Structure 1
Amino acid sequence: MNTRQSGPGTTAQHALEGLRRAIIAGELRPGQRVRQEEIADNLGVSVAPVREALRVLEQEGQVEYRPRRGYFITELWASDLAEIYALRQVLEERAARKALPTLDDDAIERIALAARDCAEAAERGDVAAELAANRRFHFGMLESPDQVHTMRLIRLLWDSTESYRALYYNSPEERAKTVHAHDAILAAVRRRDADALVAELDAHRSRALEVLTRVLDGGGER
């Protein structure tokens, strides 16, 4: 494909977006080596912006560099995933409790729209679109102006498990369960019930961790 763009900034961003799409689509899976020349050729760019993009993904924890071997998609153990989700639980409860009183009607409608987009993408089996809508849904109810550092850490934790989240959404059963979970979460937001919201978020997160742990242990669908 011919998607070359002018300027080093735009080509680096193009390479970063292309690598993210490949991870989400499962074209690059945990533990797989990233072949830079092949990626560059597919995206219609030189190797330099691909390397720049890989450095960004390395900072996010999505890839790791192995000396004399190159970049690989980060492969996590079940214990790594459990630690990440435990940290998310602490940070997201704090964020949700602080953000909920600040959500106005427009903000709640944006969250509801993200939930609908997620459900429609799930119905189509469009994993990339569902992941994007899912992120808008969750972050829409967590962000507030006085939580800059909390949100920075939450984003880092989300980014570090994006390839595993893509595996989770590749299951039609889990896509359907996510839609129902989002309905319950949104209902708690509309009621402005912080305790119920935290409980629904915890249940949703626990389900994802359970499924992903089976994937890591070789018992889930790939």
Structure 2
Amino acid sequence: MSAPRRRSIFTARLVNSTPGARAPRVLDDLRNAILGGDEPPGTLIPIEAVAQFFGVSQIPVREALRELLGEGLVEHIPHVGYSVAKLSFVEFAELYDVRQALEAAALRAAVVTATAADDEVVRETHEAMAGAIERDDERAYHAESRRFHMALIAPARMQRLLHMYEGAWNMTEPARPMSRVDEVGRRSFHDDHDRMLAAFVARDADALVAESALHFAHLKDGIASFRDDPDVFL
């Protein structure tokens, strides 16, 4: 694996969510920085600078990085250090396949146990996505799209599956794929979401899984458009 090319700017955008606390949330704040997409794949994570930022020794920073390594969010290169994980396009696309398979299983279970309250949550996230599209706010759209998908599968109450689903999604976050899809593409995805919402409310599992599969096909077409971008993929 080649060494990251970027000089680290990691601490410039790092946020301490508990300033003044005796025990800063180093792991959570590092994870949020990576998932927020402000630290592109390949960005170096300087342990000493991060420790100084949080006002801690290097020990909790190293512990946090080892945890994030296990989550697939960072990678470690001998004699270089830690950096935000950078995937190949094949690995990235595979994570979409994993998400699709997990989502399909969860959706079938979710429609059996979903309530009217769950319908309202799904509708609310759907409306929030529409607002983000109208504002051409790709960051908000990305966040609301994730909330929408999570709201669809949450009624399944399959905690281990949901954890795996979220983990697979997390590993694609540093690339900020929705920032690389234009407004036309996001509107197309939203059309998919319209049909998914209708099938969910109708408790039509077959239609919902079929619409989910179509949506993932569109997503994979979208990410294929930047498969050769060296700033995103290995």
TM-score, normalised with respect to structure 1: 0.81
Q: Is the 8 A contact 2:27 2:65 kept in 1?
A: no
Q: Would you say how many aligned residue pairs link Structure 1 and Structure 2?
A: 215
1:158 matched to which residue of 2? Answer: 169
How far apart are the structure 2 equivalents of 1:199 and 1:182? 12
Out of 96, 108, 117, the position equivalent to 2:107 is 96
**Mean alpha-carbon deviation: is it higher for 66-75 or for 79-88?**
79-88
1:62 matched to which residue of 2? Answer: 73
Q: Is the 8 A contact 2:113 2:156 kept in 1?
A: no
User: Taking structure 1 as reference, are residues 127 and 201 closer, same or farther at Cα in structure 2, changes over 3 Å only?
Assistant: same
**What do you get for the CA RMSD once the two structures are aligned?**
2.9
Question: Which letter maps to 2:29?
Answer: H
**Mean alpha-carbon deviation: is it higher for 72-81 or for 141-150?**
141-150
Question: Which letter maps to 2:151?
Answer: G
How far apart are the structure 2 equivalents of 1:120 and 1:109? 17
1:45 matched to which residue of 2? Answer: 54
Q: Which runs of 5+ in 2 are unaligned?
A: 1-12
Question: Which letter maps to 2:93?
Answer: A
Q: CA deviation at 1:11?
A: 4.8
User: Taking structure 1 as reference, are residues 170 and 129 closer, same or farther at Cα in structure 2, changes over 3 Å only?
Assistant: same
Structure 1 or 2: more helix by fraction:
1
Q: What are the superposed Cα offsets for residues 65-115 of structure 1, whole Å, 9 maximum, x if unpaired?
A: 112211222222222123222222222111100111211111111011011
Question: Which letter maps to 1:154?
Answer: Y
1:178 matched to which residue of 2? Answer: 189
Indicate yes or no: 2:23 matched with 1:8. yes
**Mean alpha-carbon deviation: is it higher for 89-98 or for 118-127?**
118-127
How far apart are the structure 1 equivalents of 2:178 and 2:218? 10
Q: Is the 8 A contact 1:93 1:198 kept in 2?
A: yes
Q: Which runs of 5+ in 1 are unaligned?
A: none
User: Taking structure 1 as reference, are residues 116 and 53 closer, same or farther at Cα in structure 2, changes over 3 Å only?
Assistant: farther
Secondary structure class of the residue paired with 1:68: coil
Q: Once the two structures are aligned, what percentage of the paired residues are identical?
A: 30
